[in-house]
Amino acid sequence: MSERAAEALINSVPETVQAAAAAAPSFDEAFTLHHRAVFRAAYALVRDAGLAEDVTQEVFLKLYQHIGSLQNEEHVRPWLLRVASNTALNTIRSRGRAGAREEEFGATSVVGSQPVGLEADYERRTEIEEARRALGQLREPMRSCLLLKQQGLSYREIAQTLSLNEANVGSLIARGRKEFVRVYGKIGGRR
């Protein structure tokens, strides 16, 4: 194609269509760029790889259905993470707590049945469970801010995801860390 023909083709496309094509994110790009972050956010809440993958699939299905409503690429990641956290919390609520504990016990008893390093494995699981209980006692939005910061999000992304003022995110994280250390010490008997 000659340079003149290419220029004529570009000029024939209305500017509004060009601007919309440049600003609107594509589903494939969003999936490629944000799949890992969405999975990690879901896993941080549901603590089960299979459930986290189900949540991730559901989030990207919602993205596919609502891709036209997102104005530009910078809104995609916070939107995805907000939908991931809401979907994960809904999944947790719909799943019975007793059923979840029974499934986890069954999975850990099969994995933990090997005699090598049984004591170290028990200690590690005990610490993880204590940390989860301590995190569970933190109030919102401190808990969500801590989890999202641990996932590597910036203060701006956390603020957008949780619909908070960006100036408050830092203090929520600092207070959340302090409260976590206090609660974790009480649970673990480390006063």
Give 10-residue mean pLDDT values along the chain (191 residues): 56 52 73 93 90 94 88 86 90 68 62 61 84 86 87 88 90 90 74 43
Domains located in the chain, CATH noted: 1-95 (1.10.1740.10), 117-191 (1.10.10.10)
3 state SS of 95: coil
Q: For residues 176 and 136, what is the distance between their CA atoms, to the nearest angstrom?
A: 12
- Residue from 136, 141, 143 nearest 177 by CA: 143
Residue count of the chain:
191
Q: For residues 102 and 89, what is the distance between their CA atoms, to the nearest angstrom?
A: 19
The structure's pTM equals 0.50
The backbone region for 170, taken as left when phi is positive above 0, alpha when psi lies in -120 to 50, beta otherwise, is: alpha
- pLDDT at site 36: 95
Query: In this structure, are residues 84 and 38 in contact, taking their beta carbons and an 8 Å threshold?
Result: yes
Q: For residues 81 and 161, what is the distance between their CA atoms, to the nearest angstrom?
A: 6
- pLDDT at site 57: 95
- pLDDT at site 14: 54
Q: For helices 27-46 and 49-66, what crossing angle results, to 10°?
A: 140
The radius of gyration of the chain's CA atoms, rounded to the nearest angstrom, is: 22
- pLDDT at site 135: 84
Assigned token pair, 136: 């569970």
Query: In this structure, are residues 42 and 50 in contact, taking their beta carbons and an 8 Å threshold?
Result: no
Burial (CB count within 10 angstroms: exposed 0-12, middle 13-18, buried 19+), residue 54: middle
